[in-house]
């Protein structure tokens, strides 16, 4: 890049273009939300038939297109800001060198050379003529030493200053040229195919483009305010709120996984970040699965003394050793994704609110990580967080007739709304821990809960911080654990992660805690949970009274070998009509209504045992 081009460069023009792309991305996001939460909902609820189903499928594709546009526009915006940042740094260096040269009586020429006036060194009889020098970029110990030698022997005292300014100008021009060279291919790569179908390959390109922009934009990204190191959820909330729109967009574009996992950030922000991760991961898995060759014939027959015998073919044995485990793994990831996508697609069905993906990692904690909310917890009057127990994993998060752990949160949302129709609700499925895979052995260990407890507490405090930031006041929160999930809740309620800024000691984890089918909460009494015994609720069923109670006694998940449905635990024992360990969310059941009454703060409607 030459001097005239760098002098004329206006970073503001690129920053304005970046703002335009960001605004376009925002419009795409609004269009996507309109399709998912209004247009698509109206179509599903009001029109039936093959034509309506076909139209709904086309709307889904259009929604995906807008999501892709939103993501790409965010990336283009960040890239333009990064390019403007790098060139602006070089331009400031150029301008500083030119100003210093002028102040010292030198003239900067159009080609970047510097002319200096005539001058006389002290002790010299003659005045040396002026001249012009051309700088060189970079330099080395050897070249620097030679330049110093030349300056010392040169008769004109202005020669050395002119050479310094010329070198600074050359450095600035080279820095600008390098920035232009590295950014040009990255910016050219930020374009979509010329078709109307957003494919898995397109999302794979998004991931590749993100990595490229992150790599060349390191200087820009490093200049952005970073999340507070070891910050509390409230620290995170304050950090995010203090960022400019440009800075927030850059973090979302280049570091979506980290943003989506950060407790304390707004639900809409975490959802946007995690939806990007979800789309990119789905494409990655789909393409990887497609790349696995089809299995060859599995069996062949060989002749033996007893006649023909069926055996595995050599080709199948080789294929199985190389691909079988990976194929099963990928299919498991995609199965869980299908269930999550189904929840997204059912928004509006029977009044179901918009879903917010507050956490997502298909391989986290070995079982996968999924935090999904029905309704926005930042604006809800009442929020309930449901923690599943043994055998919970992302692959079957919505599996079964009752739609699994995601479905239980949906049942809680619907039933709570009946309790208080004039209030807003959000119910959250929280699976951000390695749940035991087996009842025998694994579920008898407290270590799973001890590892998960601080993570759950951080999430709950983040939810509170985000609600206060959005609504100005805390909402009513209920924390529900099922089976081993109650042990996680018990540890989280007793966890102490230290002071929270200027807000005093660690706050209570929730307004109410419900233990459902609990083998023990690693607490002697309800009062140990830090929210007051009157706000601790428990229910069990016939199955739980025998097996879970006995399990709790055998493994000692409470120090005094008590479980929450024991009277000596000191909490409220609610009536339950569940016939087994998973029936507490059956429609029209007393068990479901009792939980909903607590969530809605309608304590007088709870039926006690």
For the record, the structure tokens of 489 come out as 């809740």
As a whole number of Å, the CA-based R_g of the chain is 32
Closest CA to 334 of 394, 292, 294: 394
Residues 398 and 443: beta-carbon distance below 8 Å? no
CATH number of 320-605: 3.40.50.1820
- How many degrees, rounded to 5, is the angle at CA 572 between CA 571 and CA 578? 120
d(CA 565, CA 486): 12
For the record, the structure tokens of 585 come out as 């969310």
355-361/382-387 β-pairing: unpaired
**For 93-152, how does the pLDDT look when each residue is reduced to its tens digit (9 = 90+)?**
999 999 999 999 999 999 999 999 999 888 888 899 999 999 888 878 888 888 888 888
Give the pLDDT confidence score for residue 503 in this predicted structure: 41
The 3-state DSSP composition of the chain as helix, strand, coil percent (nearest 5) reads 55, 10, 30
Count of alpha carbons within 13 angstroms of residue 95, beta-carbon side:
12
Give the pLDDT confidence score for residue 500 in this predicted structure: 43
**For 425-462, how does the pLDDT look when each residue is reduced to its tens digit (9 = 90+)?**
999 999 999 988 755 444 455 678 889 999 999 999 99
Ranges assigned E (strand) in 376-451: 382-387, 425-431
- How many degrees, rounded to 5, is the angle at CA 425 between CA 30 and CA 354? 30
Which residue in the block uniquely carries the two structure tokens 């951080």?
A: 458
For the entire predicted model, the pTM comes to 0.89
**For 200-248, how does the pLDDT look when each residue is reduced to its tens digit (9 = 90+)?**
999 999 999 999 999 999 999 999 999 999 899 999 999 999 999 999 9
Tell me the three state secondary structure of residue 358.
Answer: strand
d(CA 489, CA 469): 25
> Would you say how long the chain is, in residues?
609
Count of alpha carbons within 13 angstroms of residue 100, beta-carbon side:
16
CB-count exposure of residue 68 (10 Å: 0-12, 13-18, 19+): buried
**Domain map of the chain by residue range?**
1-223, 320-605
Residues 371 and 360: beta-carbon distance below 8 Å? yes
Q: What percentage of residues in the chain have a pLDDT greater than 90?
A: 68
Q: Tell me the mean pLDDT in the region 557-565.
A: 66
Closest CA to 377 of 459, 446, 442: 459
């Amino acid at each position: 890049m030459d001097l005239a081009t760098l002098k004329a460069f206006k970073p503001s023009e690129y920053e304005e273009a970046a703002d335009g792309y960001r605004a376009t991305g925002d419009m795409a996001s609004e269009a996507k939300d309109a399709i998912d939460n209004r247009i698509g909902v109206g179509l599903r609820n009001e029109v039936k038939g093959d034509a309506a189903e076909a139209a709904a499928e086309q709307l889904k594709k259009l929604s995906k297109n807008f999501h892709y546009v939103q993501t790409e526009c965010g990336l283009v915006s960040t890239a333009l800001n990064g390019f403007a940042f790098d060139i602006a740094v070089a331009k400031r260096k150029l301008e500083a060198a030119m100003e210093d040269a002028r102040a010292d009586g030198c003239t900067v020429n159009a080609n970047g050379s510097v002319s200096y006036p005539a001058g006389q060194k002290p002790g010299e009889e003659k005045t040396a003529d002026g001249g012009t020098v051309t700088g060189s970029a970079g330099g080395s110990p050897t070249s620097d030493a030679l330049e110093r030698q030349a300056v010392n022997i040169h008769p004109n005292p202005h020669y050395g200053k002119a050479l310094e300014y010329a070198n600074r100008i050359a450095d600035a021009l080279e820095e600008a040229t390098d920035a232009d060279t590295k950014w040009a291919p990255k910016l050219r790569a930020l374009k979509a195919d010329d078709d109307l179908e957003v494919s898995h390959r397109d999302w794979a390109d998004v991931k590749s483009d993100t990595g490229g922009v992150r790599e060349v934009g390191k200087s820009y990204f490093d200049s952005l305010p970073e999340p507070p190191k070891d910050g509390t959820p409230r620290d995170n909330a304050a950090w995010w709120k203090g960022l400019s729109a440009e800075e927030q967009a850059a973090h979302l574009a280049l570091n979506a996984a980290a943003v989506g996992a950060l407790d304390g950030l707004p639900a809409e922000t975490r959802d946007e970040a995690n939806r990007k991760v979800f789309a990119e991961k789905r494409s990655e898995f789909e393409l990887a699965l497609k790349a696995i060759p089809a299995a060859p014939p599995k069996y062949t027959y060989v002749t033996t003394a007893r006649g023909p015998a069926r055996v595995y073919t050599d080709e199948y044995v080789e294929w199985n050793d190389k691909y079988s485990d990976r194929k099963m793994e990928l299919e498991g990831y995609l199965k869980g994704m299908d269930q999550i996508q189904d929840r997204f697609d059912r928004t509006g069905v029977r009044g179901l609110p918009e879903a917010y993906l507050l956490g997502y990692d298909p391989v986290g904690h070995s079982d996968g990580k999924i935090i999904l909310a029905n309704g926005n917890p930042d604006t809800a009057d009442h929020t309930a967080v449901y923690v599943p127990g043994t055998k919970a994993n992302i692959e079957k998060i919505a599996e079964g007739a009752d739609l699994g752990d995601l479905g239980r949160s949906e049942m809680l949302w619907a039933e709570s709304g009946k309790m208080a129709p004039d209030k807003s609700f959000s119910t959250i499925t929280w699976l951000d821990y390695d749940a035991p895979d087996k009842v025998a052995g694994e579920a008898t260990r407290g270590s799973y809960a001890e590892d998960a407890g601080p993570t759950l507490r951080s999430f709950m405090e983040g939810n509170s911080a985000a609600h206060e930031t959005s609504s100005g006041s805390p909402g009513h929160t209920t924390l529900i654990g099922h089976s081993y999930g109650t042990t996680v809740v018990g540890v989280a309620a007793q966890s102490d992660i230290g002071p929270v800024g200027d807000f005093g000691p660690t706050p209570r984890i929730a307004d109410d805690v419900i233990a459902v089918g609990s083998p023990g909460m690693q607490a002697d009494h309800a009062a140990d949970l830090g929210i007051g015994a009157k706000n601790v609720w428990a229910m069990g069923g016939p199955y739980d009274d025998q097996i879970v109670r006995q399990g709790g006694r055998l493994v000692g998940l409470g120090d005094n070998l008590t479980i929450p449905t024991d009277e000596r635990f000191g909490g409220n024992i609610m009536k339950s009509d569940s016939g087994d360990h998973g029936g507490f969310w059956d429609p029209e059941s007393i068990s479901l209504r009792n939980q909903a009454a607590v969530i809605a703060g309608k304590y007088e409607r709870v039926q006690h045992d």
